[in-house]
Structure 1
């Protein structure tokens, strides 16, 4: 019995050819293909500017620095996210302030945000969990009311739309991930989009040691050896090898998304009527990117708990993951005084969450096998 991995990237001959062409061009670090990928990506998400980076984490960090977040400040975000959303707040010298999630969408509960704002609050980082968008209209309204910067964590949200608007075109900054498991893959990589030209230029400088923004081309035919350091920056830039992947992946994204949507629909139809399961929220107003398919298991309906359910899936050759372990449960954040019990919706979501395989490289037969195994376990261990 072959195992169905939790996630695999869809890398084909076109990506390989583009990478080989890049290697032959001798532009291995940031170069013309990074610039081209930025141009294509900003057009795709309908943003004025895009800056290629080595990760979404780098994007979150640089966005906060560009917004002036620093020691003594507070940044509001969700506890139900990967730790980088909170870690980058620490990196910036600020304090994370967590707001519990909406139990239906699993995104930040917009109705609780305003009560957490103080005179130290500098920014809000909404995280578009699994590819479903946060409720951005009230978030932007609150931000404008209190003069806060909105930095969207769109690590899951390439292709996501909020009320017809592309994620990447709404907040002050939007940070995307192109990690190996994401909808658009460059191996490692990320992107910031923004409409603010001055801050886009500042981020370009900060992403490459603080050198003047065209310093990446200093070894090219039209470049200059002279550069100036305007800021003690970071080594966060994207490489042309990464961008080569991205250019091809972006050209295939709509096709890959159609496959994700089709497979998610198979899961939804199979699991939505099963007592003891909660399928991911989706609707006709917003476009879900289906980066993750998080099935929530109500343990009271089964004789096994979530962890045992995962083990049964593993025994049957189905790879899974859990998204996410709430940030306040992590030892570092416990030491800072955070308690997961303060965020009951995040804790409840975590205790029932199982992320099932969902990616374009899966076959329809594999999707059906996942369905069959999940239903078999549910039937066998029904209370």
Structure 2
């Protein structure tokens, strides 16, 4: 059996929605993007949502609009996809890596506060593979030190923190719509905020800082000319992507329920397999299960990478746990001690989990996983 690591699922109606956009003749950013933004904001409980090309550009714009620039520092976890740090670099600022909580793999508030300097402009907690960070702790730190909070919520649409949806909190949040995330537009990102002035500026910055939107120009009853009061970028989403996103958003509850069901099956199975540690579940949050992160004990006769290799031979695709950015050549020379980050990057494996993964395929993953570890334990 061949089991892919991830695969997007479409629920019907997407082809018709795309055909309607094509027939309308308006395929760039336009009315469908606006409809998707409104629906997204309503779903997460935010006042405003701003669509972008991807989560990296969303993070870049959110940091830039928060005042992050050359000479500044932004505290981020090293245990994250490299885009987290790259978005800081794209602002001309320096990412400062702090360690994570060893249970949640989220940025540790205590380590974060220790990393603050006079140059710190912002803190960027990551909701690791869909598990919300301890946001109240970060808001308290931000208030004490006068620094902005920007959430990397790439995997977190549908997650809640203390009963509140991620995206509705007091900070700006940035979501990913990549095919490996909870819902997808192929490529795409979204920024949510409750600040109307900030939302207006972000909408301008994503379109070269133009002070006149496409919709406003289209609906004008007289000749109008745009102007450019500051410099910006082109990070616009297309109406074709937005049409797909609206269909995916309608299926979000079904997607989350299926991810939760599959995670529960993995949790039950892991209890009887030696050397494995199931994901930790804090009582303050409900996660999205964007990925299932299994920890392989350092006492295991098979280390994480060898286990991945054997599963691949069986036809089961896995991925390493979240990367440690400071180990990458792109950030060579970073002198930082992050023991919890390094242990997690070394020991965590991500198993296949996605809507459309059949029980027979998941049972095969579990059986192969158990077979390799039980055989090694008995040897």
* Band the TM-score falls in, shorter-chain normalisation: over 0.9
Q: Does 1:344 align with 2:342?
A: no
Question: Number of aligned pairs?
Answer: 378
Q: Does 1:381 align with 2:376?
A: yes
SS of 1:309's partner is: helix
Q: Deviations over 1:96-133 (max 9, x none)?
A: 11110111000011121111111111100000001111
Compute the TM-score of the two structures, normalised by the length of structure 2. 0.96
Cα deviation for residue 283 of structure 1 reads 3.9
1-side partners of 2:163 and 2:204: how far apart?
32
1-side partners of 2:131 and 2:72: how far apart?
28
User: Does the aligned pair in 2 maintain the 1:77–1:99 contact within 8 Å?
Assistant: yes
Cα deviation for residue 305 of structure 1 reads 2.0
Query: Superposition pairs for residues 185-200 of structure 1, below 5 Å?
Result: 185-200=184-199
SS of 2:319's partner is: coil
Cα deviation for residue 351 of structure 1 reads 0.8
SS of 1:186's partner is: coil
2-side partners of 1:132 and 1:4: how far apart?
25
Q: CA RMSD in A?
A: 1.5
Give the structure 1 partner of residue 288 of structure 2.
289
Equivalent of 1:311 in 306, 309, 314: 309
Give the structure 2 partner of residue 46 of structure 1.
45
Query: Which of structure 1's runs of 4+ aligned residues deviate more than 6 A?
Result: none
Q: Deviations over 1:212-240 (max 9, x none)?
A: 15235534676965211122111101111
Compute the TM-score of the two structures, normalised by the length of structure 1. 0.95
Q: Deviations over 1:303-359 (max 9, x none)?
A: x3211111111111111112322000110211xx2146x111111001111111111
Equivalent of 2:322 in 292, 316, 324: 324
Q: Deviations over 1:169-227 (max 9, x none)?
A: 11421000000111111000010001111111111111011111523553467696521
Any unmatched runs of 5+ in structure 1?
none
Give the structure 1 partner of residue 266 of structure 2.
267
User: Does the aligned pair in 1 maintain the 2:273–2:374 contact within 8 Å?
Assistant: no
2-side partners of 1:17 and 1:311: how far apart?
41
2-side partners of 1:283 and 1:272: how far apart?
18
Cα deviation for residue 145 of structure 1 reads 1.4
Give the structure 2 partner of residue 360 of structure 1.
355
Query: Superposition pairs for residues 1-383 of structure 1, below 5 Å?
Result: 1=1, 3-215=2-214, 217-219=216-218, 225-302=224-301, 304-334=302-332, 337-339=333-335, 342-382=337-377
**Counterparts in 2 of 1:154 and 1:259: CA distance versus 1, 3 Å:** same
